A and B are shown apart, each in its own frame.
Chain A
Amino acid sequence: MSRHRWELAVEMLIEWVIRLCGISAIIFVFGIFYFVFREGAGLLFSGRFSLAQFFTNIEWYPTSQSHVRYGGLALIVGTFSVTVLAMVIAVPFGLCAAIFVSEFCGPRLRETLKIIIELLAAIPSVVWGFVGLTLMNSVIISLFDTPIGLNVLNGGIILALMSVPIIVSIGEDALKAVPDTYREAALALGATRWQMVYRVLLPAAKNGLLAAVLLGVGRAVGETMAVLMATGHSVRIPTSALDPVRTLTATIAAELGESSVGSDHYQVLFIVGILLFSITFVVNLSADLIVRGIRGKA
């Protein structure tokens, strides 16, 4: 009898531990948001900071002695330009590679490719930054005849290379999750391989593929070290892909160490953090809504 009770207690304990682990994710997210917000809130509501200026002005002089200006527009445009370029390259490339690995290549080549792609995903971002700083830099200089090769193009390509492995491996998982019976049914009805992929597989796996793309976007938006090294780190609105830019993340990474804790400069960097947090939140939320929308209609 007591043995039974003991087992029941252990059961309860395990259930609670698991429940706690599940809830902790929510606690952490809100915790992070709270602390980032708390650090930035002081300046945000002080009157020395204007949101309108932050979103419309391109002048970022947070340490100026005479006239401090917190114009974040150039940083926002910088982040978006690099991310968009990276996605334009990485999404088609990643999805096609996922389709190839999952549907068209032989088992031996598939295993080799998967190992190499996973290896690619494991390369630290600072190494990618180094590739951008040295190799890509000289390639772009000689190819486009520009004085310096650290720019949107460089950062976009590096970010694309970093996002592709994620898109490929998650996209491949999504395609593999489509039951084989669908493939066989489509082929048995006289569809060719490509018709089967296009008409049956992609619609069936669209949620997973969307998740793959958005995780790629997430990586590109949040990436810091590689873009810091590859984009040239110059605060300006780019007019072409060959202009250097500075991103939100790189600004935080480069300046936070130099600002004194609690100063206006320190606080404005946390406001940048709040903005980044909001961007990823909106991306994830809209992805969720899109996926739900697709399901609802179906």
Chain B
Amino acid sequence: MATKKIEVTDLRIAYGAHEALKGASFDVYANEVLAIIGPAQSGKTSLLKALNRTLEFTAGAKAFGTVKLDGEDVSQIKNVSELRRRIGMVAPLPVGLPMTIYDNVAFAPRMAGMRGKEQLDELVEHCLRHAALWEEVKDRMDMLGTKLSGGQQQRLTIARALSHNPEVLCLDEFSIAIDPVTTMRIEEVLKELRSQLTIIMVTNLTQQAHRLADRTMFLWAGEIIELDRTDVIFSDKCANRKTYEYVNGIFG
């Protein structure tokens, strides 16, 4: 069995009285691609945010249970910045920081203390190439990141998430703002990255999960209905009828 990268035990997330996640337990293995599918309000995004503790930005949100990264309880980690560098996050709507394209990508490494110009140059190019954006922006690195188109900004955020060399990359509906061609290019990139890091992706496109994921989790109303190998989830052998109906578009 592959090594466990993340172990989640009885994770419950509440926004005030509303419980968004009702006790989830699962493991994420190193170097796998785990897809999380499920309808709106099923707790997908909350689950992701609990992993690198960005849930703490939301006033009134509380997480119970434990999330372990390499066996270490993330709630006990003192250096949250370090944790967030280890677990990168790409948000559904792209947020270009109000600085140049170069500075956007160089932001996290600089915050972590990287200073050398050549080192940064190389890293920025590397990340932008990985996010399939390099060719489009290489001649205008001084342009404001916020002036890029929506799809380009989304790829910029992916480049940014790669810039701090994360061990786990969380993607929250990354293809929501980009066209199918670019989506396919990024999917190719993700397939390549699989050898270097662990990927957890939330997606509303069930076919995307089918194409990319080793395993797929089906969340519904805050509960894990089923988590199994992707080929099982997308076959008629899946354990739960709801899963079958959801992936085949019968409800959802």
Q: Interface residue count for B (Cβ, 8 Å)? A: 25
Instruction: Find out whether the CB atom of A191 lies under 8 angstroms from the CB atom of B144.
Output: no
Interface string of B107-119 (1 = CB under 8 A from A): 1101110000000
With both beta carbons as reference points, the residue of chain B lying nearest to A201 in the complex is identified as B98
Instruction: Find out whether the CB atom of A189 lies under 8 angstroms from the CB atom of B54.
Output: no
Q: Is B89 an interface residue (CB 8 A)?
A: yes
Of the candidates B93, B98, B107, B144, the one whose C-beta lies within 8 Å of that of A189 is: B107
Residues of A within 8 A of B111 (CB): 189-192, 195, 199
Which residues 22-62 of B sit at the A interface, judged by CB distance below 8 A? 52, 54, 57
Task: Looking at the assembled complex, report how far the CB atom of A202 sits from the nearest CB atom of chain B, in whole angstroms.
Answer: 10
Instruction: Find out whether the CB atom of A189 lies under 8 angstroms from the CB atom of B160.
Output: yes
Instruction: Find out whether the CB atom of B54 lies under 8 angstroms from the CB atom of A191.
Output: no
* Bound: A298/B96 CA distance, A: 14
Residues of B within 8 A of A186 (CB): 97, 107
Task: Looking at the assembled complex, report how far the CB atom of A298 sits from the nearest CB atom of chain B, in whole angstroms.
Answer: 5
Q: Is A181 an interface residue (CB 8 A)?
A: yes
Instruction: Find out whether the CB atom of A203 lies under 8 angstroms from the CB atom of B108.
Output: no
Instruction: Find out whether the CB atom of B57 lies under 8 angstroms from the CB atom of A185.
Output: no
* Bound: A183/B93 CA distance, A: 14
Residues of A within 8 A of B163 (CB): 189
With both beta carbons as reference points, the residue of chain B lying nearest to A190 in the complex is identified as B85
Q: Is A184 an interface residue (CB 8 A)?
A: yes
Q: Is B82 an interface residue (CB 8 A)?
A: yes
Which residues 136-161 of A sit at the B interface, judged by CB distance below 8 A? none
Q: Is B197 an interface residue (CB 8 A)?
A: no
Q: Is A204 an interface residue (CB 8 A)?
A: yes
Instruction: Find out whether the CB atom of A192 lies under 8 angstroms from the CB atom of B98.
Output: no
Which residues 169-189 of A sit at the B interface, judged by CB distance below 8 A? 179-189
* Bound: A93/B160 CA distance, A: 34
Residues of B within 8 A of A185 (CB): 91, 95, 97, 157
Q: Is A200 an interface residue (CB 8 A)?
A: yes
Instruction: Find out whether the CB atom of B84 lies under 8 angstroms from the CB atom of A187.
Output: yes
Of the candidates B84, B93, B98, the one whose C-beta lies within 8 Å of that of A190 is: B84
Interface string of B125-169 (1 = CB under 8 A from A): 000000000000000000010000000000001001101100000
| Given A189-B164, A190-B164, A195-B111, residue A183 in contact with residue B97 (CB < 8 A) | no
Instruction: Find out whether the CB atom of A188 lies under 8 angstroms from the CB atom of B54.
Output: yes
* Bound: A195/B108 CA distance, A: 10
Count, A-B residue pairs, CB within 8 A:
63
| Given A195-B111, A298-B144, residue A188 in contact with residue B97 (CB < 8 A) | no
Which residues 59-86 of A sit at the B interface, judged by CB distance below 8 A? none
* Bound: A192/B110 CA distance, A: 12
Q: Is B81 an interface residue (CB 8 A)?
A: yes
Q: Is B176 an interface residue (CB 8 A)?
A: no
Of the candidates A187, A203, A204, the one whose C-beta lies within 8 Å of that of B54 is: A187
With both beta carbons as reference points, the residue of chain A lying nearest to B112 in the complex is identified as A190
Interface residues of A toward B: which range?
20 to 34
Instruction: Find out whether the CB atom of A188 lies under 8 angstroms from the CB atom of B98.
Output: no
* Bound: A189/B110 CA distance, A: 11
* Bound: A189/B164 CA distance, A: 8
Residues of B within 8 A of A203 (CB): 98-99
Instruction: Find out whether the CB atom of B97 lies under 8 angstroms from the CB atom of A200.
Output: yes
Of the candidates B57, B82, B108, the one whose C-beta lies within 8 Å of that of A183 is: B57
Task: Looking at the assembled complex, report how far the CB atom of B56 sits from the nearest CB atom of chain A, in whole angstroms.
Answer: 9
* Bound: A187/B85 CA distance, A: 10
Residues of B within 8 A of A298 (CB): 144
* Bound: A199/B161 CA distance, A: 17
Instruction: Find out whether the CB atom of A188 lies under 8 angstroms from the CB atom of B107.
Output: no
Instruction: Find out whether the CB atom of B95 lies under 8 angstroms from the CB atom of A181.
Output: yes
Of the candidates A179, A184, A191, the one whose C-beta lies within 8 Å of that of B107 is: A191
* Bound: A248/B52 CA distance, A: 59
Instruction: Find out whether the CB atom of B81 lies under 8 angstroms from the CB atom of A204.
Output: no
* Bound: A298/B163 CA distance, A: 24
Task: Looking at the assembled complex, report how far the CB atom of A196 sits from the nearest CB atom of chain B, in whole angstroms.
Answer: 9
* Bound: A185/B84 CA distance, A: 11
Task: Looking at the assembled complex, report how far the CB atom of A50 sits from the nearest CB atom of chain B, in whole angstroms.
Answer: 51
With both beta carbons as reference points, the residue of chain A lying nearest to B110 in the complex is identified as A199
Residues of B within 8 A of A182 (CB): 95, 97-98
| Given A183-B57, A184-B57, A298-B144, residue A191 in contact with residue B99 (CB < 8 A) | no
Instruction: Find out whether the CB atom of A188 lies under 8 angstroms from the CB atom of B164.
Output: no
Interface string of B71-115 (1 = CB under 8 A from A): 000000000011011000101010101110000000110111000
| Known contacts A188-B89, A190-B108; 8 further A-B pairs (Cβ under 8 A) | A182-B97, A188-B54, A190-B84, A190-B112, A192-B111, A200-B99, A203-B99, A298-B144
List 10 contacting pairs A-B, 8 Å CB cutoff, sorted by A.
Answer: A180-B57, A181-B91, A187-B57, A188-B91, A189-B160, A189-B161, A190-B81, A192-B81, A199-B107, A200-B98
Q: Which residues of A contact B (CB under 8 A)?
A: 179-192, 195, 199-200, 203-204, 298
4 nearest A-B pairs in the assembled complex, by CB-CB distance = A190-B85, A189-B108, A185-B95, A190-B81
